[in-house]
Amino acid sequence: MTVCTRPSIDRRGFLALAGLSWLTPVGQLLARQAEHSREPARSLILLWLSGGPSQLETFDPHPRTTAAGGTKAIKTALSGIQLAEGFEQLADQMGSIALIRSMVSKEGDHERGTYMMKTGYRPDPTVVHPSIGAVCCHELPVGRTDIPRHISILTGQWPSRGGYLGGEYDAFQVGDPKGTLPDVTAPVAGPREIARVRDLDVVERAFARGRQSRVQATLHREALARARVMMTSEQLKSFDISLEPAGVLAEYGDSAFGRGCLAARRLIEAGVRCVEVTLDGWDSHVNNHEVHRKLAKQLDPAFAALLRDLARHQLLDRTIVLCCGEFGRTPKINPFGGRDHWPTGFSLAIAGGGLRGGQVIGATDPEGTKNPAGPTTVEDVHATVLKALGLDPPQGKHRPAHRPAGQAQRGQDDTRAPGLIARATR
């Protein structure tokens, strides 16, 4: 997997050439030395840390420095690699994880930073770009999935959207998997339900007379048909974490986020292409250390359990797990005991999908006065993830504002939509 700046090659060719010097540094470091027959990843799980987590209290501690502000570090399964105190379970999984500690973004505002991290683009008033999850669902094989293939669990303030790909690629939003999935059971059953559907069809046909183009543009009939298929699908059980053994439930921790991560594994197993699970509350302008201690108690067991569980179900090699927020936090602690926004030199963790774990990419200055060594851009990460999914950078025809030139035709099994429609690099 790599960031592509040259003409595309096929999947096997990419793997064969993964070590060549023309690949960008992050691509070279993450590409695993593998057989030519290795299949690309097929799904993405995004653990979204909304609010901007501090790199110093998570994946890039600098103990005994002024920047640390007293934060301690712990050893991991890999010699020389440390995590912040509170991530003991994740420390044992470091052989599967790559840490990028030199992330740089051009956006330091929550909404704009979220948009950039999720789409790979800075906000543009002329176009709404699709999130990386929407791109995955548009480009990867459709398969035989009756439930939505782009799902957001515990959705935050700015959910992932389909952008110019269309509303059908917006993330399907659900809450805590502990409860029942809303709006999937008909309020009436049997003949009454059939009669209601028949009556609705009469109304819709009458409305469509003389308005056919407007009706087609809404995709209402298509959405209704998909919803009815979903309501009767056995795949709805993928949302039901109560079907898991008690021991597995306990591994993920007793939190909504932990349950969301467990549901993500079940959904990926059912054929869902992208699941986003949000852990909110990282905006630590006040009491930074306390905020991160509380959230680490949810993130640490859930993230670690997810990696173990994916491996047990033989899903880790074909599922990319990306853990990040919209930016990091300042090396300097403010007068309120907090850290402020910091888009220059923050961290993310990436695992699975055939990527090479057990390493750290880039480095930050312990005192925060210098730029990070080996900076990695948001565009680099997006192109890298897309490449690991077997998706080449876009080569199709676009309209001036990067909109697709035509509606892609998707098959029902192992078919691919033609051409990438979302640019990964500029």
pLDDT tens series, the chain, 426 aa: 333 333 333 333 333 333 333 245 676 678 764 444 478 999 999 999 999 999 999 999 999 999 999 999 999 999 999 999 999 999 999 999 999 999 999 999 999 999 999 999 999 999 999 999 999 999 998 878 888 999 999 999 999 999 999 988 999 999 999 977 766 666 667 777 667 667 676 777 777 777 777 766 666 666 665 666 666 667 789 899 999 999 999 999 999 999 999 999 999 999 999 999 999 999 999 999 999 999 999 999 999 999 999 999 999 999 999 999 999 999 999 999 999 999 999 999 999 999 999 999 999 998 888 999 999 999 999 999 999 999 865 433 333 344 443 333 333 333 322 222 222 222
Task: Provide the residue ranges of all domains of the chain, joining segments of one domain with +.
Answer: 11-130+146-181+240-388, 182-236
pLDDT at 93: 97
Residue 395, amino acid: Q
Provide the pLDDT for residue 351.
97
User: Could you give the C-alpha distances from 194 to 190, 205, 220, 228, in angstroms and in order?
Assistant: 7, 17, 18, 11
- Residue 104 and residue 372 in contact, taking contact as beta carbons nearer than 8 Å: yes
Contact 260, 153 (CB under 8 A): yes
At 401 the pLDDT is: 43
Helix axes 288-312 and 256-270, enclosed angle (nearest 10): 30
CA distances from 327 to 281, 369, 418 (A): 13, 17, 33
pLDDT at 27: 66
Residue 152 near residue 171 (C-beta atoms within 8 A):
yes
**Can you give the pTM of this predicted structure?**
0.83
Environment class of 359 (CB within 10 Å of its CB; exposed 0-12, middle 13-18, buried 19+)? middle
Beta-carbon contacts of 216 under 8 Å, excluding residues fewer than 6 positions away, are none
Would you list the DSSP string of 369-424?
A: -SPPBS-EEHHHHHHHHHHHTTPPPP-S-B-TTS-BSSPPP--SSS---SS--S-S
Report yes or no: 25 and 374 within 8 Å, Cβ to Cβ.
Answer: yes
Contacts 24+ apart (CB under 8 A), 246-254: 248/305, 248/309, 251/301, 251/305, 251/308, 251/309, 252/301, 252/302, 252/305, 252/306, 252/309, 253/297, 253/298, 253/301, 253/302, 253/305
Question: What SS3 class is residue 168?
Answer: helix
| 407: number of Cβ within 10 Å | 9
> What is the CA 49 to chain-centroid distance, rounded?
11
Q: Which CATH architecture has domain 11-130+146-181+240-388?
A: 3-Layer(aba) Sandwich (3.40)
Structure tokens at 9: 């090659």
> How many angstroms separate the CA atoms of 357 and 359, rounded?
6
243 bridge partner residues = none
Structure tokens at 18: 């993964």
- Looking at residue 268, what is its pLDDT? 97
